[in-house]
Amino acid sequence: MLKSVKWVENSVLVIKLEDSLFTLAQMRVNGLMEFFNVFNSDDDWGGRNLNEAELLFCIFVAEKRLKPLFVRVLGKDEVVANCRPITKKMLSFEWVAEDTYTANLIELSEGYSSVGGRVVKPNLSIESDLDVIQSHEMCGVLGEPDKLKHRLKFFYETGINWDEQKKFIYPALERPKGFPVT
């Protein structure tokens, strides 16, 4: 485990999900971290090129809070960092009334922030925007290691990329069978 985590753009970190299950994450800009469909039974990455790896999701993180998951930072000789464009469209939570919420599809600002972001499509609903809701990430900051760990392990085991926080906004969304409720 790392003693401390310092944000360095494009650094690639090893995440330990279990004793013999590891994956990679890459720091991008302004707290955005990318997670990939890359899993190994050990911490040997053999020069893997993340430009060729499937991007699972890109989210804002509180990296210091996620520190318990990080094993180490990879050297440039161990992995090729992803240099594809960073995802700029995300879902932004909106409170409508007591116990009533929605999300807007936004495009992050030039500085990759939701503040100053442009609304692309407001008031998304499951009935008309399910594909948008399922294919975009929430722009809130994740700082709970167990939630991230459960999400990555669930994807590894099932191939389903499920974001549990969307269930809070859209209670009618079907939770995949077997997803651990936290």
Dihedral sign (CA 148, 152, 153, 154): positive
Give the pTM. Answer: 0.94
pLDDT for res 182: 59
Give the mean pLDDT of the chain.
Answer: 94
Going from the C-alpha of 16 to that of each of 52, 58, 81, 174, 179, the distances in angstroms are: 21, 18, 19, 28, 19
Which helix (H) or strand (E) segment is 149 a member of?
Answer: helix 145-158
Residue 6 backbone zone (phi > 0: left; psi -120 to 50: alpha; other: beta): beta
Q: How far apart are the first and last CA of the chain?
A: 23
- Tell me the percentage of the chain whose pLDDT exceeds 90: 88
Provide the pLDDT confidence category of residue 3 given band limits of 50, 70 and 90.
confident
Q: Tell me what pLDDT residue 96 has.
A: 81
What pLDDT, in 10s, does the model give residues 109-167?
999 999 999 999 999 999 999 999 999 999 999 999 999 999 999 999 999 999 999 99
68 pLDDT more than 90: yes
